[in-house]
Structure 1
Amino acid sequence: MTIVPKILPNIHKDLLILETNLKKMVSAKHPILYAAAAHLFNAGGKRIRPTIILLIALSTTKLNILPEHKRLAEITEIIHTASLVHDDVIDECETRRGVNTVHNKFSTKVAVLAGDFLFAQSSWYLANLNNLDVVKIISKVITDFAEGEVRQGLTCFDEMISIDNYIEKSFYKTASLIASSCKATAILSQTTINTQNQFYIYGKHLGLAFQIVDDILDIIGSKASLGKPAGSDLKNGNLTAPLIFALQEDAKLYDLIEREFQQQNDIYQAIEIIKNTHGIQKSYDLAQEHIQASIQAINKIDNRLAQESLSYINNYIIKRLN
């Protein structure tokens, strides 16, 4: 579940309330739609996005975290969860976080409707924050998700994909939401434009590092730790940093990609090839570069509490590989 008890007890209570509120916010009149939404949140998750929002809120307000901050944390998690539902449909994933995906448990039609419903609910709550700047920046994230999915579809099993293409796609699919929610939190705290922009840069690079680490784990992790089979991204044609770097060293991967990992043991063979190259190490180094860039952004903000509390998040992301 959450990582907060190990980081900052001050927001532990707020995250427990968030868990309860999420289920209330996605309540629907139709029992199937409600069951699908509830199934998602019952599966839990790291809640990394709400954690970051609450930490930034705590460090940028002189008194207590505002109700708007708490609602933004909830909205962000709903948007993230909605994107996962649609991702799972597109990728035909059978499990997520160790439980059946919505389309696997119910149907593809219900999953698509559940994702749409969650996006709609988040938009309604977002509008009720009554802050146009926040509405603008968070609304853009939903279009970024679609852009990311299109880009991923266009590069499916494309061995010519570059690291730059991969980073750009990763921004749309992961980093955009984290970056925008960081900035939106600073907007709600009425910080300076410069502070808001530095929080955006922090979130952007943190989000990219988070995605790269996720992609490394897809290669080196176990089904038990991932909640889904290792190599799931490769199987779906989503070529990530470890494979892109490994392609530079071992041409055998080209043959496996060309036949779309269709033969028995193709995924296992690809994983072993990647592990025997510098693909994992180079991906780790790339993640570290983005972690350092996020730290540089925070250091440009004159806020020691933000620097200290957010450094725990940075460390947590990299230590997921340990």
Structure 2
Amino acid sequence: MSSTTSLLAPVENDLQILTDNLKKLIGARHPILGAAAEHLFAAGGKRIRPAIVLLVSRATMPDHQLTHHHRRLAEITEMIHTASLVHDDVVDEADLRRNVKSVNNLFDNKIAVLAGDFLFAQSSWYLANLDSLQVVKLLSEVIRDYAEGEILQSINCFDTSASIDAYLDKSYYKTASLMANSSKASAVLSDATPEVIENLYHYGRNLGLAFQIVDDILDFTTSTEVLGKPAGSDLASGNLTAPVLYALEQRPYLKILIEREFSEPDDLSTALELIKNSDGIEQARQLAKDHARMAAQNLSCLAASDSTKALNQLTDYAVSRLY
């Protein structure tokens, strides 16, 4: 499926309400923080994460109706995701996000860090007001996981001894934890059975990993214009993703280039060619497909509905972006 428009049809109106509410919820006392945050929410994006929360909510509620708490959880999820993107761009020194200027480029690093902190703080405040200790714990874990993932990525730059398991752990912390725990939290708010709650956690985990692996593949196969950031930027910064780790098993010279941190003029372009001429991208593609398939299997606990169908189609969409 090439577009998420029809895919997210069951919650299309809900997502419009979410977008309107996010701008009201920012409510920054300082206009620069408010402008920075609003710039992010206006920058596009598919709203996949809050859409998953809304779809899970409708799929697990007996009458498929949303409560105020479900809507607020979706808004909190998007706040946390957006805050993580701001901090990501500062750490990566990125100038673009979704083909528009990043907050750190538009303002500066100081404002960007504060804007990210502000969004994390706002999300925590609204989270506390959901009056569900279990949901507070789940989403607090997401924020902790994100920080742990950033630290792991920073201290393991250019580490050619990293394993695929370590890569998946880091990908869970940085990306999949939000999908996993927000899906679970949504089912908790619906008073779903323990079996359904656990299955939806694993759905979000597997779907999140599939999305991250695909994103990491696209870093090698897609143009800068489409990516909205320079192609090959992860590799250049020493972030070794699945295609690189698989390629390292077949192209020993790649290890030399990485360990000297691409210090010679043609090192990076040579490394990119070695990866493209290995089976690394194909092996990573298969890994993404495996996680997407497991995510689909995790949905067998749900009754048939338009929302369940959309959740299932998201597993196909995650990998269809490669074609």
User: TM-score normalised to the size of structure 2?
Assistant: 0.96
Match of 1:258 in 2: 259
Shift of 1:268: 2.8
Q: Is the 8 A contact 1:175 1:206 kept in 2?
A: yes
Q: Distance in 1 between matches of 2:10 and 2:295?
A: 23
Deviates more, 1:303-312 or 1:52-61: 303-312
Write out aligned runs for 1:5-154 (5 A).
5-63=5-63, 64-154=65-155
Residues 207-265 of structure 1 show CA distances to partners (whole Å, capped at 9, x for unaligned) of: 11110000000111111111001011111111000000001111221122122124434
Letter in 1 for 2:59: S
Query: Does the Cα contact within 8 Å between 1:157 and 1:238 map onto a contact in 2?
Result: yes
Following the alignment from structure 2 to structure 1, what is the Cα–Cα distance between the partners of residues 131 and 302? 28
Q: Which moved more, 1:212-221 or 1:40-49?
A: 40-49
SS in 2 for 1:7: coil
**Cα shift at 1:84:** 0.9
CA distance in 1, matches of 2:76, 2:69: 10
Instruction: Go from structure 1 to structure 2 and tell me whether the alpha carbon gap of 1:116 and 1:241 turns closer, same or farther (over 3 Å shift).
Output: same
Q: CA deviation at 1:10?
A: 2.7
- Aligned to 2:5, the other structure's residue is in SS state helix
Indicate if the aligned counterparts of 2:56 and 2:308 stay in contact, CA closer than 8 A.
no
Instruction: Indicate conservation of the 8 Å contact 1:208/1:290, yes or no.
Output: yes
Which segments of 5 or more consecutive residues in structure 2 lack a partner in the other structure?
none
Instruction: State the alpha-carbon separation in 2 of the partners of residues 4 and 58 from structure 1.
Output: 18
Contact 1:3 1:48 survives alignment (8 Å)? no
Q: How many Å apart are 1:307 and its aligned residue?
A: 4.2
CA distance in 2, matches of 1:263, 1:33: 41
Distance in 1 between residues matched to 2:39 and 2:264, nearest whole Å: 34
Shift of 1:62: 2.4
Give the whole-Å Cα distance in 1 for the aligned partners of 2:47 and 2:147. Answer: 22
**Which residue identity is paired with 2:94?**
C
CA separation in 1, counterparts of 2:266 and 2:27?
43
How far is the alpha carbon of 1:317 from its aligned partner? 0.6
Are the counterparts in 2 of residues 49 and 76 from structure 1 also a CA contact under 8 Å? yes
Answer yes or no: is 1:195 the counterpart of 2:196. yes
Q: Is the 8 A contact 1:157 1:257 kept in 2?
A: yes
- The aligned counterpart of 1:319 is 320
Tell me the TM-score normalised to structure 1 length: 0.96
The aligned runs of 1:300-319 (5 Å cut-off) are 301-305=301-305, 307-319=308-320
Letter in 1 for 2:131: N
Q: Is the 8 A contact 1:3 1:46 kept in 2?
A: no
Aligned residues: 320
Return the letter of the residue paired with 2:50: P
**SS of the residue aligned with 2:39?**
helix
Paired residues of 2:157 and 2:238 also in contact (CA < 8 A): yes
Give the 3-state SS of the residue equivalent to 1:160 in structure 2.
Answer: coil
Contact 1:97 1:228 in 2 (8 A): yes
Is contact 2:4-2:46 (8 Å) kept?
A: no
Tell me how large the CA RMSD over aligned residues is. Answer: 1.4
Q: Which has the higher contact order (CA 8 A, sep 6+)?
A: 2
- Is the partner of 1:6 in helix, strand or coil? coil
Deviation at 1:8?
4.2
Pair 1:179 & 2:180 matched: yes
Structure 2: distance between partners of 1:112 and 1:307: 37
In 1, the alpha carbon distance for the partners of 2:226 and 2:27 equals 30
**Aligned-partner residue type, residue 112 of structure 2:** A
Q: By how many angstroms is 1:85 displaced?
A: 0.8
Compute the displacement of 1:269 (Å).
2.4
Aligned to 2:164: 163
Amino acid at match of 2:183: C
Q: Does the 8 Å CA contact 2:299/2:312 hold for their aligned counterparts?
A: no
Runs of 4+ in 1 over 6 A off after TM superposition: none
Matching residue's letter, 1:60: T
Question: Aligned partners of 2:238 and 2:159: how far apart in 1?
Answer: 8
